[in-house]
A = this chain, B = another copy of it.
Amino acid sequence: MRGWLAIAGLGPGSEALVTPEVTAALAEATDVVGYIPYVARVARREGLTLHASDNRVELDRAAHALAMAAAGRRVVVVSSGDPGVFAMASAVFEAVEAGPEPWRDLDIRVLPGISAMLAAAARAGAPLGHDFCAINLSDNLKPWALVEKRLRLAVEADFAMAFYNPRSKARPEGFARALGVLRDACGDDRPVIFARAVTTPEEAIRVVPLPEARPEMADMRTLVIVGSSLTRIIARDGAPIVYTPRSAPE
């Protein structure tokens, strides 16, 4: 039997946002590999082995999945959101590049998912409707100086910005520094969206002007979006609509 490896995105949380492609791959799989809370989203069934592992062991997990596929298993590595955005796809390819030569010729597919950024934007309106960037604020894997440099350049480019991993338990001070850089660089009251646990029962969306944004408004389950200088707010009875127009003036 020829094995394969699918690196699949489960979307932000709601089952209504899991693509049929991912559902079909899970139905054919012999093994599912991933971080504990994501594997917990996969229904148990006979013939399917679930391999849940802790955070921060991405390369070990990737190598384990590749070794199983090389041995003829049908393996799905699960990420939340999209696997190609700050998730398992890069980790698997890092393991492929560092691993034994035959791993390169395995049947490996990446199955996209609804990223947290797109789901959060949809809940708030359309804050990413014009040019934007996505930055992982964690400095686990890159120096803080690079995070700060990117923040300043993103403001200069007037991108809307989506921030992943704004606030880890291990390094809560990073997000406070990021907000400081943004306040310094933007100099205005553009909207900040805190989108927590989007599309789950714990979903909470909060929109505040940048001067009022506080580090404790984000936790590990929060995706943060900061508007560009052109981002607009439509006030109404319910939650406001936040959107960035399609055009920029001459």
What 10 pairs between A and B have smallest CB-CB spacing? A90-B129, A89-B126, A141-B247, A110-B122, A133-B133, A93-B243, A142-B248, A16-B21, A104-B236, A153-B157
**So how many copies of this chain end up in the complex?**
2
Chain B residues lying within 8 Å of A92, measured Cβ to Cβ, are: 126
Asked whether A94 lies within 8 Å of B21 as measured between CB atoms, the reply is no
How far is A246 from B246 in the complex, measured between Cα atoms in Å? 31
Q: In the complex, which range does the number of interface residues on chain A fall in?
A: 35 or more
**Which residue of A83, A87, A123, A130 has the most chain B CB atoms within 10 A of its CB atom?**
A130
Asked whether A89 lies within 8 Å of B125 as measured between CB atoms, the reply is yes
1/0 per residue, CB under 8 A from B, across A131-154: the answer is: 111111000011100100110011
Chain B residues lying within 8 Å of A82, measured Cβ to Cβ, are: 118, 122
Interchain CB contact (< 8 A) of A94 among B91, B112, B245: B245
